[in-house]
Amino acid sequence: MASSSSSIFSGVKFSPILTPFNSGDSRRSRCVKDRNNKVRFNPSSPRLTPNRVRVEAQSLIPSNGLWAQRTTNRGGLKRSIGLGQGSAIFRKEATGISLSQGRNFCYTCKRTQSGIRRSLPSAFVDRTSFSLSRSRLTSSLRKSSQILNATVRPDEPHAAGTAWPDGIVAERQDIDLLPPEIDSAELEAFLGCELPSHPKLHRGQLKNGLRYLILPNKVPPNRFEAHMEVHVGSIDEEDDEQGIAHMIEHVAFLGSKKREKLLGTGARSNAYTDFHHTVFHIHSPTHTKDSEDDLFPSVLDALNEIAFHPKFLSSRVEKERRAILSELQMMNTIEYRVDCQLLQHLHSENKLGRRFPIGLEEQIKKWDVDKIRKFHERWYFPANATLYIVGDIDNIPQIVHNIEAVFGKTGLDNEATPTSSTPGAFGAMANFLVPKLPAGLGGTFSNERTNTADQSKMIKRERHAIRPPVEHNWSLPGTSVELKPPQIFKHELLQNFAINMFCKIPVSKVQTFGDLRNVLMKRIFLSALHFRINTRYKSSNPPFTSVELDHSDSGREGCTVTTLTVTAEPKNWQNAVKVAVQEVRRLKEFGVTRGELTRYMDALLKDSEHLAAMIDNVSSVDNLDFIMESDALGHTVMDQTQGHETLVGVAGTVTLEEVNTVGAKVLEFISDFGRSTAPLPAAIVACVPTKVHVDGAGESDFNITPGEIIDSIKSGLLAPIEAEPELEVPKELITQSQLEELTVERNPCFDPIPGSGLTKLHDKETGITQLRLSNGISVNYKISTTESRAGVMRLIVGGGRAAETSDSKGAVVVGVRTLSEGGRVGDFSREQVELFCVNHLINCSLESTEEFIAMEFRFTLRDNGMQAAFQLLHMVLERSVWLEDAFDRARQLYLSYFRSIPKSLERATAHKLMIAMLNGDERFVEPTPKSLQKLNLESVKDAVMSHFVGDNMEVSIVGDFSEEEIERCILDYLGTVKASHDSGKLPGSEPIVFRQPTAGLQFQQVFLKDTDERACAYIAGPAPNRWGFTVDGDDLFQSVSKLTVAHGASEMADGLSKSEEQLLEGGDRDLQRKLRAHPLFFGISMGLLAEIINSRLFTTVRDSLGLTYDVSFELNLFDRLNLGWYVISVTSTPGKVYKAVDACKSVLRGLHSNQIAPRELDRAKRTLLMRHEAELKSNAYWLNLLAHLQASSVPRKELSCIKELTSLYEAASIEDIYLAYNQLRVDEDSLYSCIGIAGAQAGEETTVLSEEEEPEDAFSGVVPVGRGSSMTTRPTT
C-alpha cells in the first residue's frame, strides 16, 4: 500500500532464461525488495556493480526455469501494504543464497515486479553480503553483490577457429534449413494459426459486470489466492486528486472489519496501487484450522467489503493520512527521485510521467472524507473490477456459486444490468511467455461461463476499453517528432554516472505461432550481447561498470520499451557510452553467429522442456500474477506443456537470416542513431553526481552537457567494428580419462559417519541421507520429485569474514569477489565456463557471509546437467584460477562501495550503529580503503582457500535424481577432491565482543544534507545465537531448567489464561520439557517472539500512534558464531523519528507489563507453520534445512531439528517465549540506537567520509542491485 518505497531493501530471485518480453518494469527500476530473501539493499540508480553486461528480456514460457534473473521494477511506483509477514526459523541459513524463497512471501514486491529482467545462466554469481540482521533490516548493512556475468580477462583465451577439438561442442551448421517439403505458403499458414489457450482456466461474468477467473492449482495444498483487481489507479486521478487512489486503498483495506476477522485463520492479506489498477489480495487456507468450515465465502465477503463497501470513517482517514505522509518521506530516496526523472522524460507526452501513485503532499493533507468517497463512487464498481481465484479448488461450480452469492447484488441497485464489455478489454490474453507463471487467459475459452440474463440492458458505468488510458509518442521510423535533447539530472547524493536511452513502441500481442516465433528470435538475438562485450575488453579496468539492454512489455504503461543502460565511474563515462554503442552496433551489423543461434536455441528448448515437466509445481500466486499481467498485455496464455510444444513447433522454422533481421530492428534506435530512417529515442536521460572523487585531490565538480552526450554516442557509431568469432564451448570440464586417473590416485570411498559407525545414514521419514567421504567432506542429500528433473546443491565452508584477522581485514570478502570476477577454472576461460553453464542450464553463485563461504548450484538433470554441476564444483575446489586483474577489479569495487556510503542515509545510519555496538569490528562492515590497500592477490587467495579443508566442508543436494545417480556423482567428483582432514590447521578467529556501555555511544545520530527531508532509525542489542550460546561464553542449555522469567515471572504465570494453565498442567508438560531440552529451543522460541514483537510494533507505532509507515523487528541468530543480535528498523519524518524510537523501545521492553496473550502466540505459530508447510515442496527450502547437518562448527544441528520442527512449534508455550525474551538485552546499557536525518537543515554535522579516517569509523556499503526498487514498497509488518 504506499507509493514507492525508499527502502534500503531489495531482493534477488531465480527464474527461467531466454525470456523476452513480458512486463517490462525492469528498465527503469533500481532493484527489488524481497522480504524473505535477505539480499535487500537498494542503493542508487547509477549502479556500482562490477564490470558486466546483462542482456535483459522476458521469458516466453510460464515457468520455474533454471536461468538466473534479477527481478526489478522499472520506475515501479506501485504502492502496497501487507499484513501477516514475518521471519522464519531457518532464515539465517539462507543468508542471501536462497533460490526462490522470496516469491512465496513477498507480496508487495511481487506486485511491483511486473518487469522481470533476466540474464543467462552463469558461473560465479557473487552474493557476498554484510548484514545487520539476517532478514529485512540486515540488508541495510549487508552488501549483496550480484555479478551475473563478469568480464573475460585480457589473458584468457576466448576466440577460436572453425575447427572443433575433442571435448568441444561442434555447432550445427544446418540450423537455418527448413524441411524441404514445407513451402512458403504452408509456413505462412502455420505461422498465422492462433496459439492454444490454457485448458483449465475458467472465466465468467456476473450481471453487474464483475468478471472472474478461476484456476485450480494444488501448490501450495489446501490454500488459495483471491485477488480483487479494480481497474483504477493514479492515471485516473484529476489534477486535484493526485494520490487519492492510494489513499482509498489504505482506508478501504485497513478499515475492513471483515478482513481483520481473517487474521486468526492463517490468512495473509495485502494491497497496492499502481498507475492502472488497485489490487486487494488475500492468501488463505481453504478451511479453518481443525474444522471443515469453508473459508472461501469469508474471504470473498472481505474483498467485497474492501472494494465496494468501505467505511470512510474520519478517524481511519486521518490515521491513514498520517501513515501516507510518513510513507511519502520514507520512500523519497535518491533512487525514487531518479526513477521519477526517468519516467517523466520517457512519458513526457502523457500523465504516466506525472501521476505517481504516492501523490502530492499538499493535496494529501487537504482531502476530506466527502472528496475521497466521491472518487470511490466514480471508479469502484463491479463492472470496473476483475476477481481472480487460483488455488486448491475441486468444486468450481461451488466457487462460482459463492461469487454470485457474495458479489451478485453489489452495484445493481438503481442500475441496469451490464452486457459484456468489448472483448479486447478483458479478452486480452495472458502473456504465455512469462517466468514461473503457467496459467492465463486464452483468446477464446472452452470453459467460459457468462450470465446471459437481461443482457439487453446496459450498465451505466463501464471500465476503459484501453488501460492505461493514455496516448504515447511512438519511436517509429518516419515520425515527424523531433529528437529530444538528452536530459541531465544532477544530484549530490548520486555516486556514479548512468545513462538510459529509451525506445517506445506499441505492444505486439503474442497470439499466433508467428508472434511467438518473433519473440523467440528477438530473445536469441539479444542473448548474445553480454558475451559479445565480455570478449572485447582486455584492460583490467573497462570503462563501464555495467551495460544492460532490456526489451520488454509493460501492461501498466501500455507500451513496449527497449532501454540501453550504461553505468560507469564519472571519469570514464564517455568511453563507456562509446563502447556500449559500438557493441550494439556490432551486433546489429553482423548479427549472431550460427554457433550462437544453436547455443541459445538449444538452451531455450531445454529450459522449455524442463518447465513443461514442472507444470504441477508452480505456486498459485505465480499463476495468478501471470494471468493478471497477461490480461493487461493482451497475450494468449498457455500452460507449460502447450508452451513447450508450440515453442518446439516454431523453433524448426527459424533461420539465421531472420533472427538477425528481426533482432536488428530492436537495436536501430541506437545503431542507426542520427539517420533519418532510424527510430528516434523516446528519451535520453543521464543521471550524474554533482561532484566526483579524484584520487589525491578529494572532490571536484562534475560537469556534463547534452552536446557531449550526443558526441559520445556518435563516437561509438564511428568506431571500427569486426564480425564476432565463434567460441569453443567445452562439452565437459573433466574428461573420462582424467576422472579415471583421479579415481585410481585418490581411491574415493565413504567413511563411517562419526558417532554412528555406519557409512550411510538414511532417515525414511524425511528422506534425508547422510554420507561422509574419505577426504573428510560431509554430504547430505534428499531425493525429491516435487521439482521434476531439477536439483540444487550447496557447498558450505566454515569461516567467512569472522576469520579475517586484524592484518587481513576484507581479505575473505575481496577474495571471494576475486574468484567470482575471474571465473576461470583449469585451462578454460570465463566465457567457456559460462557457455558450459548455458549448455547445461546451470546457475552457480558464490558468496561470503560473516560465518561461511558458500557456493550454490541450480541445475537440471536433463543432458547430464547434474554431472556438469558436479564437474564445475570439482574444478573450483581443485583448479580454480586466481587472476591479478580480477583482484584489482574486486578491490576497486569495494573502494567504490566505501565512497558511496555517505550518500545513503540508511547505510550511514546502520553503519554507525554497528560500529558502536560491535566495538568497531570491521568484519561486519565494508573494508576501508586503508585495509584494502594492504591486501594482495596471495593474501586474499590464502584467506579463502585456507578454509577449504575436508572436515570444514559440507555439501547438500536436493533434487529429482536416483540414489545411484547422486552417489556416483558424489564419489566421482567430490570424492576425488584432494582435501585435508586436519581442520586443526584452520585459521583462528579473533573474538567478537559487544562494546561495553560508554557515554555517547549508546545513542548516536547521523545527519545528511539533502534537498528533501527524510529520517530513519535503527535500534539493536545483543542476543544469543540460534543454539543457545552467548557472546559471554555461556551455554544457556546448561541452566535452561533453572531459568526463570525475571521481572514478572509470577505475574506472567498469574496472568495465564485457563486454557494455558490446563495445557501446562496436563500431559503436554512432557512436550514442553522436550522442547526446552531440544537444541533448537532458542531458535523456535526466538522465531515466535519475533513474530509477536513485529505484530505489536505495527499495531502500536504504526497504526495507533501514526509515527511511522514502516517498522520491523528482526533477529540475526548466527549458527557458527556464539552471538546474535536483534534490530528494530523504523522510518519516519524528522519531526517524529525521536518519538518513534521511544515508542519502539517501549514496545520492546513492554512484554512483561503488557503480557503476551495466547491468541498472539497462536497467530505466530500459524504464520510460521503455514510458511514452513508451504515451502516443503521447494528444493531450495530443503537445502536450507539440510545446511550444517554434519558441520562440526554447528554441533547442535541434528536430524531432529528437521523432523520435529512442526511439533516443536506446536509445543511452545508463553513461558517459553518469555524464557527466550529474557535472553535479549533490552536495558539502556545494552541497547544501541542511531537516528539518521536528511534534509536541507540537517546541520553541519553531515556525515562525511574520508579515506584517511580511522578504519573503525568507516561506512559499510551495499551493492546496488537493480533499478527502481525505490518505487516499490515493503509489506508493513
User: Tens of pLDDT along 443-475?
Assistant: 333 344 444 334 333 344 677 778 899 999 999
On the question of a cis peptide bond just before residue 285, with omega within 30 degrees of 0, the verdict is no
Burial 342-370 (b: 16+ CB within 10 A, else e): bbbbbbeebbbbebbbbbbeebbeebeee
pLDDT for position 996: 80
Most confident of 244-248, 426-430, 452-456: 244-248
Average pLDDT over residues 286-308: 90
pLDDT for position 529: 85
pLDDT for position 1067: 52
Cell of 114: 511486473
d(CA 337, CA 141): 22
Question: What digits encode the pLDDT tens for the residues 367-386?
Answer: 999 999 999 999 999 999 99
Cβ proximity of 507 and 560 under 8 Å: yes
Closest CA to 196 of 763, 637, 505: 637
Sign for the CA dihedral angle at 674, 675, 676, 680 comes to: negative
Indicate the average pLDDT of the chain: 79
Full DSSP string of 28-83: T---B--SSSS------SS----SEEEEEE--SS-S--SSBEEEE-TT---EEEEE
* pTM of the predicted protein model: 0.82
Question: What digits encode the pLDDT tens for the residues 18-42?
Answer: 222 333 333 333 333 333 322 222 2
Cβ proximity of 1097 and 1144 under 8 Å: yes
Sign for the CA dihedral angle at 277, 282, 283, 287 comes to: negative
Question: What digits encode the pLDDT tens for the residues 782-841?
Answer: 999 989 899 999 999 999 999 999 889 999 999 999 999 888 999 998 888 988 998 999
pLDDT band at 157 (very low <50, low <70, confident <90, very high): very low
pLDDT for position 923: 93
pLDDT for position 696: 74
Average pLDDT over residues 1085-1110: 94
Question: What digits encode the pLDDT tens for the residues 1006-1031?
Answer: 999 998 999 999 999 999 999 999 99
Closest CA to 1013 of 1133, 835, 849, 1107: 1133
pLDDT band at 330 (very low <50, low <70, confident <90, very high): confident
DSSP code of 14?
A: B
pLDDT for position 881: 94
pLDDT band at 1152 (very low <50, low <70, confident <90, very high): very high
From 134-148, 203-217, 1184-1198, the region with the lowest mean pLDDT: 134-148
d(CA 723, CA 703): 36
pLDDT beyond 80 at 1150: yes
Question: What digits encode the pLDDT tens for the residues 1052-1084?
Answer: 444 444 444 544 555 567 787 888 999 999 999
Catalytic, out of 229, 320, 557, 906: 320
d(CA 63, CA 438): 6
Average pLDDT over residues 772-779: 95
pLDDT beyond 70 at 4: no
pLDDT for position 990: 83
Cβ proximity of 813 and 852 under 8 Å: no
pLDDT band at 412 (very low <50, low <70, confident <90, very high): confident
Sign for the CA dihedral angle at 705, 708, 714, 720 comes to: negative
Question: What digits encode the pLDDT tens for the residues 693-748?
Answer: 887 777 899 999 999 999 999 999 999 999 988 888 999 999 999 999 999 999 99
d(CA 63, CA 1071): 43
pLDDT band at 987 (very low <50, low <70, confident <90, very high): low
pLDDT band at 983 (very low <50, low <70, confident <90, very high): low
d(CA 324, CA 320): 6
Residue 320 annotated to the active site: yes
Cell of 451: 450470465
Burial 491-509 (b: 16+ CB within 10 A, else e): bebbbbbbbbbbbbbebbb
Instruction: Please give the C-alpha separations between residue 1270 and each of 841, 963, 1248, in angstroms, as whole numbers.
Output: 32, 46, 24
Question: What digits encode the pLDDT tens for the residues 576-604?
Answer: 999 999 999 999 999 999 999 999 999 88
pLDDT for position 128: 55
Which is higher by pLDDT, 1023 or 154? 1023
pLDDT for position 986: 66
Residue 249 annotated to the active site: yes
pLDDT for position 728: 86
Question: What digits encode the pLDDT tens for the residues 927-955?
Answer: 999 999 999 999 999 999 999 998 999 99
d(CA 453, CA 462): 18
pLDDT beyond 90 at 1138: yes
Catalytic, out of 249, 724, 804, 1160: 249
pLDDT band at 982 (very low <50, low <70, confident <90, very high): low
d(CA 185, CA 600): 28
Cβ proximity of 1257 and 915 under 8 Å: yes
pLDDT for position 79: 33
Question: What digits encode the pLDDT tens for the residues 184-234?
Answer: 899 999 999 999 999 999 999 999 999 999 999 998 889 999 999 999 999
Alpha helices in 169-227 (DSSP H): 184-191
pLDDT beyond 50 at 173: no
